[in-house]
């Protein structure tokens, strides 16, 4: 199959399933998870929504399971994309954090420490989703290899032989999210590249997001997070590609932790009002997971497809010249 058609089929599948996931969460999961007070945002720890936290965890695990199975013929990032952006239906329904800030003006510093605790929950949710997706893909590959996604680079066996010395041909992205399966000999190098990729994505994501956030409007905050980390993950995967592709798109989690720490320090003194909170402090923990990581995984997904197309086009052109 031509790689362009291969990419088109994968893109169509992931897009349709992502839309279906967003609609399912937006209309059917939200009524069960939403906060009791409609004026309050979806904040499980700071707003006391512990029952909602349990329901969210159950929904997110189920979403990861369904995403992993439904996208088995797409690369692993497709499953993460469906899961994270699908869960973004909750962020779209949530009200602004301003209401929570207004009723917490006497303890703004403490509120951000609670946000940090909730970020730990979001990190655990992301880790669980990654583990579920990778586990299902490994089990399917072990039992029925023909059902799993195959990279266009692996399908082009005759071209791959000519470029065996090009490390990008053997990068092995798309099979799992954690890069499990790398040989012991190159594991150390993979980890170092993953750290570099993470740092690039984190630094660029913070800079671009700060530039894009120009007001306390919730819609603009969500757009800034999504676009900022989309661009940063795309750039990080292009400049520092690694088998552990997760490194390119998990950066919104440490970014959120860092910004909540800054907000906690800045609002620790007495006499602070919610208007003293920077716009980035109004992003909810769940936003960093859904719109932040969702935008980042989309950037990594696009970057991988760009790299594959470039390599295959180059191989085709060289082959035609040799003939």
- Greater pLDDT, 184 or 10: 10
Lowest mean pLDDT, pick from 36-45, 165-174, 288-297: 165-174
Spell out the residues 6+ positions from residue 126 whose beta carbon is closer than 8 angstroms to its own. 250, 253, 289, 293
260-268: average pLDDT: 89
* Closest C-alpha to 295, from 223, 237, 204, 243: 223
Task: Write out pLDDT tens, residues 79-131.
Answer: 999 999 999 999 999 999 998 888 887 788 888 999 999 999 999 999 999 99
pLDDT digits (tens, 9 = 90+) for 27-66: 999 999 998 888 889 998 866 667 788 899 999 999 999 9
Please compute the mean of the pLDDT values over residues 4-18 and round it to a whole number.
Answer: 89
Please provide the average confidence, as pLDDT, over all residues in the chain.
86
Return the minimum-mean-pLDDT range out of 18-32, 95-109, 206-220, 261-275. 261-275
Does the pLDDT of residue 184 top 60, yes or no?
Answer: no
d(CA 233, CA 94): 26
Query: Does pLDDT of 262 surpass 80?
Result: yes
Mind giving me the DSSP string for 224-245?
HHHHHHHHHHHHHHHHS--S-T
Identify the pLDDT of residue 158. 53
Residue 176 has pLDDT above 60, yes or no: yes
State how far the Cα of 160 lies from the Cα of 156, in Å rounded to an integer. Answer: 6
- Please give the residue that has the higher pLDDT: either 11 or 321: 11
SS3 content of the chain, % helix, strand, coil (to 5): 75, 0, 25
Q: Which of 55, 115, 134, 117 is nearest to 87 (CA)?
A: 55
Mean pLDDT over 1-30 rounds to 90
Predicted pLDDT at 64? 97
The residue ranges of every structural domain in the chain are 3-322
Using only the alpha carbons of the chain, give its radius of gyration.
21
Residue 87 sits at the vertex; the CA angle it makes with 16 and 82, to the nearest 5 degrees, is: 35
> Would you give the distance in Å from CA 191 to the centre of its chain?
19
Phi, psi of 85 (to 5 degrees): -70, -35
Q: Would you call 110 exposed, middle or buried from its count of C-beta atoms within 10 A (0-12, 13-18, 19+)?
A: middle
Contacts of 52 (CB under 8 A, 6+ apart): 33, 34, 35, 42, 44
Write the pLDDT tens digit of every residue in 154-163: 766 555 555 5
Q: pTM to 2 decimals?
A: 0.91
């Amino acid at each position: 199959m031509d790689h362009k058609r291969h990419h088109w089929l994968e893109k169509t599948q992931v897009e349709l399933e992502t839309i279906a996931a967003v609609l399912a969460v937006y209309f059917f999961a939200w009524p069960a998870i939403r906060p009791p007070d409609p004026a309050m945002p979806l904040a499980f720890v700071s707003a006391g929504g512990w029952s909602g936290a349990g329901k969210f965890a159950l929904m997110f695990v189920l979403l990861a399971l369904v995403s992993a199975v439904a996208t088995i013929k797409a690369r692993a990032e497709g499953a993460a994309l469906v899961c994270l952006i699908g869960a973004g239906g909750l962020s779209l329904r949530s009200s602004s954090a301003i209401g929570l800030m207004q009723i917490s003006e006497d303890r703004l510093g403490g509120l951000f420490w609670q946000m940090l605790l909730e970020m730990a929950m979001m990190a655990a949710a992301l880790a669980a989703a990654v583990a579920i997706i990778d586990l299902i893909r490994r089990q399917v590959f072990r039992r029925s290899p023909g059902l799993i996604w195959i990279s266009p680079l692996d399908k082009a066996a005759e071209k791959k032989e000519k470029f065996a010395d090009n490390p990008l041909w053997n990068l092995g992205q798309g099979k799992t999210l954690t890069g499990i399966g790398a040989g012991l000999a190159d594991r150390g190098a993979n980890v170092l590249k993953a750290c570099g990729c993470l740092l690039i994505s984190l630094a660029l994501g913070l800079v671009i997001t700060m530039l894009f956030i120009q007001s306390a409007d919730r819609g603009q905050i969500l757009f800034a997070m999504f676009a900022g980390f989309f661009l940063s993950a795309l750039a990080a995967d292009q400049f520092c590609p690694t088998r552990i592709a997760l490194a390119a798109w998990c950066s919104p989690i440490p970014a959120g932790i860092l910004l909540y720490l800054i907000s906690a320090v800045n609002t620790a003194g007495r006499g602070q009002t919610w208007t003293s909170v920077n716009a980035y402090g109004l992003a909810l923990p769940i936003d960093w997971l859904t719109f932040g990581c969702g935008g980042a995984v989309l950037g990594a997904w696009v970057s991988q497809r760009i790299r594959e197309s470039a390599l295959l086009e180059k191989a085709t052109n060289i082959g035609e010249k040799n003939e």
